[in-house]
Amino acid sequence: MLNQRRRAGFLLPACSSILLLLACTRAAAQTPGYDSTIARLGPTTIQPGTDKDGAQLLKRLNGVIVENKAGAAYLSSLNISGMGERYNQVLFNGAPLPSFSPTGRAWPLDLIPVETIEEVRVFKIASSSIPAGAAGGTIAIRTRDMPDHNFFYIKAGGGFSSATTGKDFYSDKRSGGEWLSFPGSVRNLPGAFPTTRSQFSLDQLNPQEQVAQSKALSNNLAPVNHGSAKPNDNVALAFGRVISLKKGETIGILALINHQGAERIDGSTVQAVPDLPANLYPFADGSKPLVKSLSEDIHYRYTSQLGATLNASILFGNSKISLKNFFSHRFTNTYTRRSQLFKPDEDSLAHTGINYLTEQTTFLHTQLSGEHALGGDGKFKLSWQASYAYLRQQNPDERNFLLRQDTVNGNTYEIARPQVILSVDPLNPNSQRTIDPSFTNSARQWRDATEHNFTGSVGILVPFHVSGQEQVLSGGVSIQSKYRVLHSDLLLTRGTGYYSLNDLLAPERYFPGGLTVANYFINGRSIFAASNSAYIDGTNRGNYVASSNLGSAYIMLEDHLMRSLSLNWGLRLESNSQLVSSTQYAYSAGFKNPQLLTIDENTRVTNTDVLPSVELVYRPLSKVQLHAAGFRTVSRPELQELSAYRHYDALSFMVTTGNQLLANSLVSNYDIGVDWFPHTGSHIAVAGFYKKIDQPIENILSPYSNSVGNLASTPYNTPSADVRGLTASFRTNLSFIADAGWLTDLTFFAGGSWLTSSASGGAIKSTVTPNVVEHKLSGSPDRTMNAGVVIQVPRCPMLTVLYNRIGDYISALGSGTRYRLPNAAEVSAIPDYRVKDRDQLDIQISQKLFKARIQLIAGVNNLTNSAYTEYQDLNGNKKYDQPLSLIIKNNSGGFFNGGVDNTVLSIKAQRTYYLTVSYLFR
């Protein structure tokens, strides 16, 4: 890949924005060619031989921890310098990469082929040129657009997981295109079926019409045995061409298409909602159930994904214009077989369950950008870009069924019978449900979220001299606009009688008095009262529309006061507006098209933030550099977090809700550190930091309605938090050892963070949980560490070893009455959810053959076989002790049998092995 091009004596840096132009400029000015606050991996160090995909590549950046999100294995969250996912961001070719998680920040980083990545950087100290959405760090990924030479590349590989291969694999019924990630319409609602966007709801039809519509629903509850689990597959084709024109212009084209497929079987244990008020530690009362909701689950996950990259650029004169396109489509179908299931507020006789979750994600990112060197000597740099990102996430026919199993004939089942559900009169707002049927385990749901993201920016960089010292003045403006729409349909399913899974949802079972379905979300009906206003059911928030607009401008000066002293300072202004409205579709007589009605007040968050930054860099010695920095950043809620939309995760017995009162969090950041460059290729750094977070956003657990078996997780602004920490890192190639030149081919690196955080206790804007106690900031562990070694000895196999460790941290705050235990510790009625510390070791070895045309790559992920464990500390000692052991008796769930801490979720670990072969045609 060409890192830079000379044209007419002009050197054009390979930077895709003013942000990266500044990074290039600063790196050139630092000692010795390294910026202590910007870790970087460039073209010479990025290749398939050292990195399997984009997620693994980031693990080689000091201070960056890549975590797979529980329950969404294809999404990765980032921890940078100890700060959790909410405080980090990703820039893709200079534009913010939208989060694929509607309630957090997570991205499918493994979708980005390492073959297309030219450079990654992590900015640990924010400057005014960087979007201010990160207090931990900013990852900047830049893809290739100008190959070194013409080539054609082909790669094929396979792999397997240690606890999957060879076992029978059960899944949903499959369509012909699923192997290519396109399932078609097999799981869609029938075209004529009433939805939340239709003129009439299902219950407005006559009984014969209701039966006819219900019979059209798919009978797809029974799993299909697809035989032994198949190996994973990975295929890629790439093409590159460089075209030189007669007038000196150069055109570069790079294209890649890749496909990945995988089948994986995971086991997990869920123990939710311990009844601590009735039986506190040390759990002396053995006559009462200790944990209310239980499940032993086996997940069969089938994944197919297709990706494509098409980049092109043209170099002419002192300019470069690029068009970059990235497309991915992922299909994931997960069948979960649930056993030993107890959910006391639904059916005490139903202990078996089935869950199907289908995720179809389409992502398109296209960008047009330009870089221009202006002036006679080309010193003035102009950079601009316009990008569009399309994200669609569909969950067609998500099926959650809690079942009774026939004690005589174990192959027949009955849909669970909810124990108490009062009828609701849609015209009487005072009527209530004892148990909200929206969150039962016997329902089918369709969700469809579409998001459009527009980004545009322009910036200029002007170097000049004062007293013989070079100065750099830069500035720019940008705008980001996002529009998001979510539709959902929820069908509650009821029917008595024992049937096989093949017949439980059979069409012939639908008749009055037999199997029935009912819309939970209904439309705003055309019922006009004397006030001439349409009635709207305010409890049915299944749809919403949301938008956000962010305008920003900045000015920045890199001021070289003297040869060894520089001051980088600037000011960024960001004006942000977020608007979210829950909606229903209402039809009026005589009109064909519906009226979009809001069923709650529009949630609008508007802020204008002034965000200064300053960094002082001093080099007292040629190999020593000191820095001190201060900057302000902002953390904003995701759009769905501002909505009243609720989603029930049956597998974790958790209702996730939004909060219409959420506000932005302002973060004041301070950093001081020292860097030592003992010899070429080596760098040692130590830094301390302090962060003051005003009203941080944290998820708080609380009871859900009158349910005794579910919890609710809601984001709130909590009182201010202080974070103090220390980071340390080193990178060296051992070239300083005399008479051992081969040691220059060995690169060792390691980085770690140690921090302490304190979030104040106090009042929050909630009637359910009006106060929080003093606690550690959620999402931020006390320590993180990553390390690795890369061995690249010529003509020998290349070895890459990567190690990551992340400490214990709070994932969601508890709530409720505080209880003092016999050991003098205190616990809440609902204790915090915490993620247990864990580590991961990945090893990859590769060998190039036949003049580097053929490359063999083999590797293993998670060699340490570390499991994911989320727990509640029931004895109040702030650590994970012996896991709580439960027994089943009296047909009512989890009675104490030993142990201390409740394991909310434990996902059993397994190793993944892979092998690929590639061939490069030049």
| Nearest Cα to Cα of residue 668 among 608, 627, 615, 611 | 611
474 phi/psi in degrees, rounded to 5: -140, 160
Name the pLDDT band for 587 (thresholds 50, 70, 90).
confident
Distance CA 41, CA 61 (A): 8
C-alpha 635: how far from its chain's center? 16
Name every residue whose Cβ is closer than 8 Å to that of residue 491 and which is 6 or more positions away in sequence: 217, 443, 444, 445, 517, 518, 519, 520
Name the pLDDT band for 437 (thresholds 50, 70, 90).
low
Name the pLDDT band for 542 (thresholds 50, 70, 90).
confident
Distance CA 894, CA 561 (A): 69
Distance CA 451, CA 282 (A): 49
Pairing between strand 838-849 and 854-861? antiparallel
Give the pLDDT of residue 439: 59
Look at residue 37 and tell me whether its pLDDT is greater than 90: no
Give the pLDDT of residue 737: 64
| Nearest Cα to Cα of residue 3 among 30, 43, 47, 48 | 43
Mean pLDDT of all residues in 871-875: 97
C-alpha 881: how far from its chain's center? 29
Q: What Å distances lie between residue 331 and 237, 648, 781, CA to CA?
A: 20, 21, 33
Mean pLDDT is lowest, of 37-46, 247-256, 391-400, for 37-46
Give the pLDDT of residue 738: 56
Q: What Å distances lie between residue 408 and 405, 412, 498, CA to CA?
A: 9, 9, 11
- b/e map 340-378, b = 16+ CB within 10 Å: bbbbbbbbbebbbbbbbbbbbbbbebebebbbbbeeeeb
Distance CA 230, CA 300 (A): 12
Q: What Å distances lie between residue 862 and 162, 784, 804, 839, CA to CA?
A: 11, 17, 10, 8
Helix (H, G, I), strand (E, B) or coil at 231: coil
Look at residue 103 and tell me whether its pLDDT is greater than 80: yes
Is-contact 350 416, C-beta < 8 A?
yes
| Nearest Cα to Cα of residue 665 among 700, 697, 631 | 697
Distance CA 717, CA 423 (A): 35
H-only helix segments in 111-257: 207-215
Look at residue 527 and tell me whether its pLDDT is greater than 50: no
CB neighbourhood size of 395 (10 A): 18
Helix (H, G, I), strand (E, B) or coil at 794: coil
- Look over the chain and give the mean of its residue pLDDT values, rounded to a whole number: 88
Distance CA 22, CA 633 (A): 19
Look at residue 26 and tell me whether its pLDDT is greater than 50: no
CB neighbourhood size of 810 (10 A): 24
| Nearest Cα to Cα of residue 369 among 138, 143, 98 | 143
Name every residue whose Cβ is closer than 8 Å to that of residue 249 and which is 6 or more positions away in sequence: 314, 315, 316
Distance CA 418, CA 834 (A): 31
**Highest-scoring range by mean pLDDT, 109-123, 358-372, 440-454, 763-777:** 358-372
Residue with tokens 């740099």: 381
| Nearest Cα to Cα of residue 372 among 317, 416, 452, 427 | 317
The DSSP code for 865 is: -
Give the pLDDT of residue 51: 85
H-only helix segments in 600-737: none
Burial tier of 617 (Cβ tally within 10 Å: 0-12, 13-18, 19+): buried
The DSSP code for 542 is: -
Mean pLDDT is lowest, of 67-76, 157-166, 464-473, for 67-76
Is-contact 130 53, C-beta < 8 A?
no
Give the pLDDT of residue 659: 92
Name the pLDDT band for 504 (thresholds 50, 70, 90).
very high
Look at residue 384 and tell me whether its pLDDT is greater than 60: yes
| Comparison of pLDDT for 858 and 247, the residue scoring more | 858
Mean pLDDT of all residues in 903-910: 93
H-only helix segments in 77-143: none
Mean pLDDT of all residues in 590-615: 84
Is-contact 842 802, C-beta < 8 A?
yes
| Nearest Cα to Cα of residue 644 among 662, 626, 670 | 662
Look at residue 584 and tell me whether its pLDDT is greater than 90: no
Look at residue 18 and tell me whether its pLDDT is greater than 60: no
**pLDDT tens-place string over residues 208-227:** 999 999 999 999 999 999 99
Distance CA 460, CA 473 (A): 8
Look at residue 601 and tell me whether its pLDDT is greater than 80: no
**pLDDT tens-place string over residues 835-859:** 999 999 999 999 999 888 999 999 9
**pLDDT tens-place string over residues 325-376:** 999 999 999 999 999 999 887 888 899 999 999 999 999 999 999 999 998 7
Question: What is the value of pTM for the model shown?
Answer: 0.92
Look at residue 427 and tell me whether its pLDDT is greater than 60: no
Residue with tokens 């939309």: 645
Name the pLDDT band for 621 (thresholds 50, 70, 90).
very high
Is-contact 524 534, C-beta < 8 A?
yes
Name every residue whose Cβ is closer than 8 Å to that of residue 364 and which is 6 or more positions away in sequence: 325, 326, 327, 388, 389, 390
Report cis status (omega within 30 of 0) of the bond before 282. Answer: yes
Q: What Å distances lie between residue 556 and 464, 477, 567, CA to CA?
A: 14, 12, 10
Give the pLDDT of residue 421: 44
Pairing between strand 4-7 and 10-13? antiparallel
Give the pLDDT of residue 73: 62
Look at residue 666 and tell me whether its pLDDT is greater than 90: yes
- Residue 889's identity, in one-letter code, is K
**pLDDT tens-place string over residues 477-499:** 999 999 999 999 999 999 999 99
Burial tier of 521 (Cβ tally within 10 Å: 0-12, 13-18, 19+): buried
Distance CA 439, CA 435 (A): 8
- Residue 213's identity, in one-letter code, is Q
Look at residue 420 and tell me whether its pLDDT is greater than 60: no
Q: What Å distances lie between residue 283 and 154, 710, 795, 816, 875, CA to CA?
A: 61, 22, 63, 19, 10
Name the pLDDT band for 234 (thresholds 50, 70, 90).
very high
